[in-house]
Structure 1
Amino acid sequence: MSTVGRGERKPVGSMSAPDKTVWRVTGAPLVAGTPGGPLAGQSVAVKDLFAVAGQRVGGGVAAFLAEQAVETGHAAVVAELLAAGADVAGIATTDEFAYSITGGNGRSGMPVNPLVPGRVPGGSSSGPAVAVARGEVSIGLGTDTAGSIRVPGAYQGLWGIRTTHGSIDTAGLLPLAPSFDTIGWLTHDSATLAAVADVVFGRNASDPVDSGSRAYGHRSAATQSASSPQPLVIDQALYREAEPVTANECLSAASSLGASRISLDAPLDDWFIAFRTVQANEAWRRHGAWISAHPDALAPEVAQRFQWASTVDDESATRARELVGEAAIRIRDVIADRVLLLPTTAGPPPYRDADAATTEAVRTATLRLTCLASIAGLPAVTVPLPLRDGPPVGLCLIGAPNTDRDLIHLAARCGAALVEPACEGTPS
């Protein structure tokens, strides 16, 4: 039996009343994995966007859930984890239709951030993240469109990866914005993060699954393997996007790792607006008809976001898509075979009782950072920095397309070096 990343856990199936802010449905387990696989002994919280046989996909929206048919098969990635021996503990909550990074839900409520209970947990993969942070599972399976793995990871002191766009089969996944949607997972430690990568990227010797992904001309996900560390780089302009304490902690970490300076020379305002426009256009195309027929189904924050999305016309979306394409080329060309270090989020998680304007300001500032990997379709790993007196801070590593495994191994070395500066194999 694998012991990768295992610790003292409180199996969710053993609880008399699982927390409904975290879990929509649970079992003991809900679905058992194949015995003896590489992930035997691991348990998974599945975000309520993935098909699980015998269950319905709710997308975090009660009215939507009520209208869905029971799934007859598992989402592709869920099936892979089960085949590798992991148990599905249950289906965990998400922000409504995954269109938020705060971590709340108008019907099920907002899970408590175990690390800083007075602050938001981050979303939209909030349920899986909290389940991992509380020790109820070892793996939180989620999605990342604009930061929905990276943000809760940073806010809760977890490891998390947004994978290269199109590198993992999205069959059985409820989409939000397919140009940016990708699969990811959260763990307590880098070893478990890597163990999952070994499973999902080790299917066969073929190229990555084509889910409408952009063609990058790099190594296929199936041929990913740990190699020599890539050079670490920073763009100081990106650190100015974060609040001072977060920026200084991340800059200090990057400096201690020997990162050199580059410049993306990024017109970030234009890129961010273009990203939001394309995301909104695709989100409305996917969910607009249903939302129009169910005007009271969403909480105000997400409803307002979809209302704005409904105003994005095709001409504006086309122009924005062209700019996103140009930005993607620029980002990939500048990063090349290096690894860009930047703050995962623009600051600490907002307080749960913060006013709407404050929460939106933090959200916007963070999305200006997270959108870079999303625009370029690049893999990104969030590494929890050593805890000090303040709230948790995450350092993000963005790598070249289809270097997900390399990136995880490099992130692990960086994380170890930040705790033990003399760690062998750490870039300098």
Structure 2
Amino acid sequence: MAGRTARRAEADPGDPVGAFMPGPRVTIAGAASGPLAGLAFGLKDIFDVAGHVSTFGNPDWARTHPPATITAPCVTMLVEAGASMAGKTKTVELAAGLTGENPWYGTPTNPVCPDRYPGGSSCGSAAGLAAGLFDFALGSDTAGSVRIPASYCGLFGIRPSWGAVNACGVLPLGPSFDTVGWFAREASLLRRVGEVLLPPGGEGALGPLLKVEEAWMNADPAVANALTPALERLEARFGRAAQVEVAVEGLHAFFDAFRACNNEENLSALGPWVYSVKPKLSAAVQARFDLAPHQPPAKTAWGRHIRSVAGARIRALLAGGGVLVFPTSPVVAPPLSASTDEIMAIREQTIGVTSIAGFAGVPEVTIPAGRVEGAPVGLSLVAGAGRDRALLAFAEAAAAALGLGEGG
């Protein structure tokens, strides 16, 4: 299929990368004091802010939904901790995509690699943070929507344990996978934001490192080679990694199972609106809702079974404090000229890996640990469910071991 070029966001002197939603900036002043006082954050446009409509990346969604009456609790928690909301940031349409492309509002520019995609679906949050427009950013992660843009844009990012952060007032895509995540340019700030958003507990020592062989094999050779020195430095700091296999069914089966489960949940969460309103959707998103109703029930049941079995296996492996380590994304950010077929192949290759944490409901932190021809690549650390605070502390120590000081 022929190549394509994403539509760039219109230039704005105050937003050179097109990270914010067009129109008047939606802002909230932070409390005068608190652990995040003086900091500003970007907010993915799927979080409720009282008095404003969340567009969900689609004009017809914005047209058919009223303004929110209450601000999402996780946003309120940040504001009460002293952080100010700098504005709402762009999302991929219906939060369904990993490239960061949005045909309606424009695709944010990747500040690190302007000829490549920023990653999605939390594209504006990642691009704006990488461009220095705010200090940290809130996003959501269903199939990698924080982890992948963090990897593509050279940021720290976290998908927390499922249910660890209050997701009320956040538009759903796949509710049993959806998590509220965040980005930072420093591991220390990633941890500080977690101290505000995460429930108490979950601290403690972690280890040993567990090298996920199939995830390293799944990565493009250039990506694996770029991240190997980082793994070796972490081994020097935390001890030699043990080799493990978590996807005995195969990463391709993980992708297929995730897609089967997600199709069912997308239909439940968004199908009634799609089929009643008949909104104008991008071709890729429309195809999802055209095909999902025809998924055989046996395929759905198979997907749920793989998820259940694999999730239990991964949680058991991590119960003793082990930390999985593997490339966050198997590829660098794809070029804007990538064809539809190339993007679909990358999606399959990627979601096979991002499903590891998704199936188990466990936390994953990505750190900017390498580069391939100037393009960033992230290294993921995954811990047991509920060990989010311990993982953030471990990631901070890992960043120090890699020489990733303040500012990355």
TM-score, normalisation: structure 2: 0.90
Which residue of the partner structure matches residue 218 of structure 2?
A: 241
Q: Is the 8 A contact 1:161 1:381 kept in 2?
A: yes
Distance 2:389 2:195 in 1: 8
Which residue of the partner structure matches residue 338 of structure 1?
A: 322
Letter in 1 for 2:219: A
Distance 1:349 1:91 in 2: 23
Which residue of the partner structure matches residue 11 of structure 1?
A: none
Letter in 2 for 1:340: L
Which residue of the partner structure matches residue 385 of structure 1?
A: 369
**Cα separation, partners in 2 of 1:338 and 1:67, compared to 1, 3 Å:** same
Q: Which moved more, 1:326-335 or 1:300-309?
A: 300-309
Provide, for residues 6-48 of structure 1, a one-character-per-residue CA deviation record: whole Å limited to 9, x for no partner: xxxxxxxxx7664694212676771111111111111111111
Provide, for residues 266-298 of structure 1, a one-character-per-residue CA deviation record: whole Å limited to 9, x for no partner: 212323211111011101111112222344521
Which residue of the partner structure matches residue 255 of structure 2?
A: 272
**What does 1:107-146 correspond to in 2, within 5 Å?**
107-146=104-143
Which residue of the partner structure matches residue 212 of structure 1?
A: none
Shift of 1:176: 0.3
Which residue of the partner structure matches residue 257 of structure 1?
A: 234
Question: Is 1:399 the counterpart of 2:379 in the alignment?
Answer: no
Question: Is 1:62 the counterpart of 2:59 in the alignment?
Answer: yes
SS at 1:46 equivalent? strand
SS at 1:97 equivalent? helix
Which residue of the partner structure matches residue 202 of structure 2?
A: 224
Distance 1:373 1:314 in 2: 25
Question: Is 1:24 the counterpart of 2:6 in the alignment?
Answer: no
Q: Is the 8 A contact 1:153 1:394 kept in 2?
A: yes
* Gap runs ≥5 in structure 1: 1-14, 202-220, 424-428
Q: Is the 8 A contact 1:288 1:310 kept in 2?
A: no
Which residue of the partner structure matches residue 410 of structure 1?
A: 394
**What does 1:168-187 correspond to in 2, within 5 Å?**
168-187=165-184
Which residue of the partner structure matches residue 353 of structure 1?
A: 337
Provide, for residues 29-78 of structure 1, a one-character-per-residue CA deviation record: whole Å limited to 9, x for no partner: 71111111111111111111110111112111111111111112110100
SS at 1:174 equivalent? coil
Which residue of the partner structure matches residue 216 of structure 1?
A: none
SS at 2:205 equivalent? coil
Which residue of the partner structure matches residue 31 of structure 2?
A: 34
**Cα separation, partners in 2 of 1:119 and 1:262, compared to 1, 3 Å:** same
SS at 2:42 equivalent? strand
Shift of 1:307: 2.2
Letter in 1 for 2:160: T
Q: Is the 8 A contact 1:26 1:91 kept in 2?
A: no
Q: How many residues align?
A: 387
Q: Is the 8 A contact 1:175 1:181 kept in 2?
A: yes
Question: Is 1:161 the counterpart of 2:139 in the alignment?
Answer: no
Shift of 1:328: 0.4
TM-score, normalisation: structure 1: 0.86
Provide, for residues 374-428 of structure 1, a one-character-per-residue CA deviation record: whole Å limited to 9, x for no partner: 11111000000144643111000111011111111111211221228xx9xxxxx
Distance 1:342 1:275 in 2: 19
* Gap runs ≥5 in structure 2: 1-11, 236-240
SS at 1:277 equivalent? helix
Distance 2:26 2:53 in 1: 17
Question: Is 1:43 the counterpart of 2:21 in the alignment?
Answer: no
- CA RMSD, 1 decimal: 1.9
Letter in 1 for 2:209: L
Distance 1:414 1:40 in 2: 26
Letter in 1 for 2:355: C
Which residue of the partner structure matches residue 305 of structure 2?
A: 322
**Cα separation, partners in 2 of 1:75 and 1:314, compared to 1, 3 Å:** farther
Q: Is the 8 A contact 2:130 2:155 kept in 1?
A: yes
